Chain A
């Protein structure tokens, strides 16, 4: 395989890894600063977060997700992931290399179970993406009652424009992680606990989802602004950005 194809493959794999708090890929957020493939088919990835202080649990999650996503490429022999310019970079890099879990990385300092955090933010991503799609459908004349009743099948075959189809793709990707054993009749729109939605309280429900979306937007805006400021060299040493990724958000 040509080198450029392999490099492209690594960037695509990294594009499936999201920052859980923002629900966007680490490549579209421009966290990944370099990808290098050496002669032994080992992949070396470096990434940098918007601040020296970003939460270590999320940094750890992203680092291990990147390692796992790239390791799935068939030709890859080994992956190293290095977090740069972060107060706990050494600990995180070491533990990710050793495939330790988060608690082992910070013995005695945390009770965080990252599995729980992952679940919690998967739920938030589901709600955020659902809200965007539902608002789009409402704006296009579909009624709340209809939305609460359609099945996944109906949603999949619904004719939508570019924007709607894009929102649907994003939603379906997460939907499949929430509804693990769907049937043909499984509802397209449920709560994150897989309960049906009530058309009578639909507005209030949407407002709740909007607050989830707003939190993610806040994180996204802050992260982008701070990373831009950091990379302009206002603060610390700037990284060498090799290239920007084509990003494929799951």
Chain B
């Protein structure tokens, strides 16, 4: 819960977080080392006082997560969007069992999404069905650039991917988080091209496609698709990290997203542990669009817009009743008239 200077409470859902193990003990090969090293370089976009030692970054604990995300990072609910990376790490970069054990300790605060890989074929479909029931998945994170055998990536439009999307829909997994951004680029750079989201979103209108990292650096392509597909959402992981070192650029991106998608389809995310949410939330709540950007686009970050981005939009996707959840968590109900009324 974030409280503004004027005393308004804002319900915060961190839409993209991780619990990972990138430590040397878990690394299978040089790729595993280079993967976490690359993340650690991204980590250095943080303000200097938020830079972690390498050892913490490689493998932080559940206690670190609680402190960084819930106690200091203002999040009331956090969503795990795990990455398996079985070719790089012995027990996976994220581990579903570890995630689930942690979720069970904080069932009202953690949503643990899963993942699937269409290259697992028929067996993978069975596994998805089992996993979805075991873990009660409401969402999955798809990483289309994941290596597997000789393959360096796949597309949402692959015939097998469609079968997995169909299965997801059948199992009630409504939220499809797709990594479309920088970080790790596959051999064929098109694996992070956003074009396949367009076709998948049209074919599966009842699923929500949250495009993580808004396709950066292909923001124009992403906006074009999102305008046409009402079930496409912007996930702000990575984008938010720009706020500290490139605030003007951050403002340009937010204004573009507001212009094209409107305020109801943008989801705040910190991408913890790449970055600590505390500084991101504080800087975002304090941020105003530069005057020339407002003049150019007509957009402003009103309190209502911030509320939507910080929590209300994700709450809608994950069927979270904010007033009810606040009562459960012993928190004040955010000061919006209808939410307050509903809580009575």
Interface residues of A (CB under 8 A from B): 21, 50-58, 87-88, 106, 109-112, 207-208, 210-212, 214-219, 221-222, 225-226, 228-230, 234-236
Q: Does B108 contact A (CB under 8 A)?
A: no
**Residue on A nearest B246 in the bound complex, by CB:** A221
Q: Is the CB of A226 within 8 A of B188?
A: no
Instruction: Looking at the assembled complex, report how far the CB atom of A86 sits from the nearest CB atom of chain B, in whole angstroms.
Output: 9
Complex-state Cα separation, A208 to B260, whole angstroms: 12
Q: Is the CB of B152 within 8 A of A53?
A: no
**What secondary structure prevails in chain B residues at the interface with A?**
helix
Residues of A within 8 A of B223 (CB): 211
Instruction: Looking at the assembled complex, report how far the CB atom of B213 sits from the nearest CB atom of chain A, in whole angstroms.
Output: 10
A-B contact pairs, 20 of them (CB 8 A): A51-B38, A52-B34, A52-B37, A52-B38, A53-B38, A53-B183, A55-B185, A106-B187, A109-B188, A110-B188, A208-B220, A211-B219, A211-B220, A211-B256, A215-B220, A216-B217, A218-B216, A221-B245, A226-B42, A230-B37
Q: Is the CB of B44 within 8 A of A234?
A: yes
Instruction: Looking at the assembled complex, report how far the CB atom of A144 sits from the nearest CB atom of chain B, in whole angstroms.
Output: 15
Interface residues of B (CB under 8 A from A): 31, 34-35, 37-38, 40-42, 44-45, 54, 150, 152, 182-185, 187-189, 216-220, 223, 242, 245-246, 249, 252-253, 256, 296
**A55-B41 contact given A214-B253, A215-B218, CB 8 Å threshold:** no
Residues of A within 8 A of B242 (CB): 221
Q: Is the CB of A215 within 8 A of B219?
A: yes
Q: Is the CB of B187 within 8 A of A110?
A: yes
Complex-state Cα separation, A168 to B42, whole angstroms: 34
**What secondary structure prevails in chain A residues at the interface with B?**
helix
Pick the contact of A56 from B44, B183, B187, B252 — CB < 8 Å? B187
Q: Is the CB of B189 within 8 A of A55?
A: yes
Residues of A within 8 A of B54 (CB): 234
Instruction: Looking at the assembled complex, report how far the CB atom of A185 sits from the nearest CB atom of chain B, in whole angstroms.
Output: 32
Residues of B within 8 A of A111 (CB): 188
Residues of A within 8 A of B218 (CB): 215
Q: Is the CB of A222 within 8 A of B182?
A: yes
Residues of B within 8 A of A110 (CB): 187-188
Complex-state Cα separation, A53 to B146, whole angstroms: 12
Instruction: Looking at the assembled complex, report how far the CB atom of B243 sits from the nearest CB atom of chain A, in whole angstroms.
Output: 13
**Residue on A nearest B57 in the bound complex, by CB:** A234
**Residue on A nearest B34 in the bound complex, by CB:** A52
16 more contacts with CB within 8 A, not counting A51-B38, A221-B245, A236-B34, are: A50-B41, A51-B34, A53-B183, A54-B185, A55-B189, A57-B187, A109-B150, A109-B152, A109-B188, A110-B187, A110-B188, A211-B219, A211-B256, A214-B253, A214-B256, A234-B44
6 closest A-B pairs by beta carbon, nearest first, are A235-B37, A229-B41, A211-B220, A52-B34, A229-B44, A215-B217
**Residue on A nearest B189 in the bound complex, by CB:** A55
Complex-state Cα separation, A235 to B35, whole angstroms: 10
Pick the contact of B40 from A87, A88, A235 — CB < 8 Å? A235
Pick the contact of A225 from B34, B44, B216, B217 — CB < 8 Å? B44
Residues of B within 8 A of A53 (CB): 34-35, 38, 183-185
Q: Is the CB of B41 within 8 A of A234?
A: yes
Pick the contact of B31 from A55, A58, A87, A109 — CB < 8 Å? A87
Complex-state Cα separation, A50 to B253, whole angstroms: 23
Complex-state Cα separation, A20 to B242, whole angstroms: 22
**Residue on A nearest B37 in the bound complex, by CB:** A235
Residues of B within 8 A of A87 (CB): 31, 34
Complex-state Cα separation, A190 to B286, whole angstroms: 41
Q: Is the CB of A214 within 8 A of B249?
A: yes
Interface centre among B40, B188, B218, by most chain A C-beta atoms within 10 angstroms, is B188
Complex-state Cα separation, A203 to B9, whole angstroms: 39
